[in-house]
Every structure is written in structure tokens, then in C-alpha cells.
Amino acid sequence: MSDVARTAGVSVATVSKVVNGRYGVAQATVERVEQVIRDLGYEASLGAQSLRSHRTNVLGILVAEFEPFSTELLKGASREVAGSGYQLLAYSSGDGEGAAVGWERRSLARLSGTLIDGAVIVTPTVVETKHGFHVVAVDPHTGPSGLPTVDSDNFAGAVLATNYLLSLGHRRIGHMSGRPDLESARLREAGFRRAMADAGVPVDERLVRVGGYRIESAAGTAAELLGLADRPTAIFAGNDLSAISTMDVARRMGIGVPDDLSVIGFDNVPESALVDPPLTTISQPLQSMGAEALRLLIDLIAGVERDSHIRLPTELVVRSSCRPCR
């Protein structure tokens, strides 16, 4: 403030009034001070601002790591925040995938009180948070609970994926599930099993294995499935990264996709359209989920009563990684 006051030729008290939007300063002086602030590239300290007003007008999005799923959510949230009067702070715990249970508690403890007015937490491991402000969870590990939640219809999406493979004549269908501690993974496997049962096709349990939602962990599972003497003719991967990993493993093993193996994913992250062949997948409206989560958070802060659980639909996106069974 001293630098701004000296450059603008006013007192520090005048700069303080301008920064905090108080009355008693001529409009011409306000404009001169604001121009100096812009010229000097200064911003009000969020910490100091929160101590005075108990508000920062900043919302946090907390993720375990920045990967394709969370990145798409962030895109939607960043569009939604425009014109809301809030700014957005994206924060990673730095612990990465498989972060210890409670990573979001540690992140909230670091940010709450002085830096953010509320938070969207992406795939939290726990949903009981007590930090004195509003929190919205996106796709929590344990599924919907008392915390306001945004997710997509994982079960229906898995039924769609499995029915598509069945419609192509596949009967030996493998499923690479996600991490067993995730509700989304459990629902996708349940949808796979429901579709197979409804079609009267028995599930070969040897073809149902944990892929883990990551390229590295899925590669080993894909190699096991494709190394079987009676390997599957199609694989429903728990997410797009697992599906892309499966296609890479198949290529290294001399198995053509889709000529020798059909592969379908889940999520519809941008990478799914860029691989060769482009991946058929189930689309979660990830950017819409991010936007809905942020809108819900802003409404909660404003005291607007809304449904605390928002579930968005999934849909099949047909590309080139599946073909009729021969």
C-alpha cells in the first residue's frame, strides 16, 4: 500500500479505502489509485483480506493429482466460475493416486479459514469434513452420503458398454475393474454383471480382474487376460486409461484392435479420441460435473436450497475400437 500511495500521490489510508471499497474517496482518485495498482501488478493479500472480512471470494477445487479425469472437471468448473464474483484455486495434495485415506482433510486444513470460502473435492476418500464452510464432493469413494455430491450414472453406463459388446456378438467378455475401494468401480462391475445376466450369458470369473484405473496397473492385468489360451474377444475396461493401456498391450502381443479384440472404455477423456484406433467409450459428462459441482457450492454458500445429490447421465460414444465378433 505504501508503494501505491507514493506512486499515486495519496495517503496509505486512501489506498486502503479504495482497496476495500469504502466510501469517502473522490471517483477520480479511486480511478487513479486503481490504475496504479494495475500498473504495479499488485493484488490484495487473500490472507489479510480474509482476516478483515472473513471472506476471500475464492473457491477451491481439491484433487489428489492432476490427471485426465480431474482436468476435465476443472475445465467445467473454470467456465462456471466466470461472472460469479468468485475466483478458482485448483490444489493438489501432491500425494498422487492411491493417496492415503484422509488426504482431503489435510488439504482442507491447509486452505480453510484464510484462503478459500468453500471447496469442491474430487473423488475424496472420506466425506466427513468439519472445517466450518461448505464442501461438495465429486464421485466420492464411498458414494453419496450426507455431503452434497455430484456424480454420474456409473451402473447404467456399464450396462450400456456391456450391451454394446453383446450386440456385436461377443460372449467371452472380460472386465477390468477399477480399484475395489471405489464406489464407481463397484457400480461399473455390477452393471457389467447385470447386463451379462440379463442376456443369459454366464460370466467367466477368470475374465474379471482388477485393473486399477491407471495405465501402469492395467497393463499387467491386460497381459494376464490376453495371455489366456481362451482369451476374451472383448474387454470392457473400467476407465479410458485402462482401455488405452489394454490396446497398447494387445499391440505388443500382436493382437489387433479391433480385428482380434474389441475394447471399450469409460469416461471419454480427450485422450480416448486421439489413440489409434479411436476408443469406443462411455461418456461421463465430466465438464458438466465440474460445472454442476461449482454451481452447487456457490448456491450452498448463498443459502439457496437445492437437492444435495446430483447424478448426471452417461452415454455410449461409438468410435473404432470395437467390431462384430467373428
C-alpha cell at 63: 484433487
**DSSP labels for 89-137?**
EEEE-S--TTPPTTHHHHHHHHHBTTTBSEEEEES-S-----SSSEEEE
If phi over 0 gives left and psi between -120 and 50 gives alpha, with beta otherwise, what is residue 60? beta
- Mean pLDDT, residues 56-83 taken together: 93
Quote the pLDDT of residue 100.
Answer: 58
Confidence bin at 187 (pLDDT 50/70/90): very high
Confidence bin at 208 (pLDDT 50/70/90): very high
Quote the pLDDT of residue 96.
Answer: 53
Q: What angle do CA 16, 22, 23 make, to 5 degrees?
A: 125
Share of the chain above pLDDT 90, in %: 68
> How confident is the prediction for the chain on average, in pLDDT?
90
From the list 310, 293, 314, the residue with the least C-alpha distance to 88 is: 293
Confidence bin at 40 (pLDDT 50/70/90): confident
Residues 6+ positions from 272 with CB-CB distance below 8 Å: 240, 243, 244, 265, 278, 279, 281, 317, 319
- Condensed to tens digits (0 to 9), the pLDDT of residues 171-182 reads 999 999 998 888
Confidence bin at 295 (pLDDT 50/70/90): very high
- Condensed to tens digits (0 to 9), the pLDDT of residues 265-293 reads 999 999 999 999 999 999 999 999 999 99
Instruction: List, in sequence order, every beta strand (DSSP E) within the chain.
Output: 58-63, 87-92, 118-122, 134-138, 149-152, 173-177, 208-210, 234-237, 262-267, 280-283, 309-312, 315-317
Quote the pLDDT of residue 128.
Answer: 60
C-alpha cell at 253: 502381443
Quote the pLDDT of residue 51.
Answer: 46
- DSSP state, residue 229: T
Give whole-number Cα distances, 176 to 86, 247, 262, in Å.
Answer: 40, 13, 13
Which tops the pLDDT comparison, 274 or 109?
A: 274
Share of the chain above pLDDT 70, in %: 90
Quote the pLDDT of residue 98.
Answer: 47
C-alpha cell at 242: 485402462
Among the ranges given (62-71, 119-128, 294-303), the one the predictor scored with the smallest mean pLDDT: 119-128
Confidence bin at 129 (pLDDT 50/70/90): low
If phi over 0 gives left and psi between -120 and 50 gives alpha, with beta otherwise, what is residue 94? left
Quote the pLDDT of residue 42.
Answer: 77
- DSSP state, residue 182: -
**Domains of the chain in sequence order:** 1-44 (1.10.260.40), 54-151+286-311 (3.40.50.2300), 154-284 (3.40.50.2300)
Q: What angle do CA 147, 151, 156 make, to 5 degrees?
A: 135
211, 176 contact by CB (below 8 A): yes
Quote the pLDDT of residue 126.
Answer: 66
Please determine, for residue 101, whether its predicted confidence score (pLDDT) is greater than 60. yes
37, 16 contact by CB (below 8 A): no
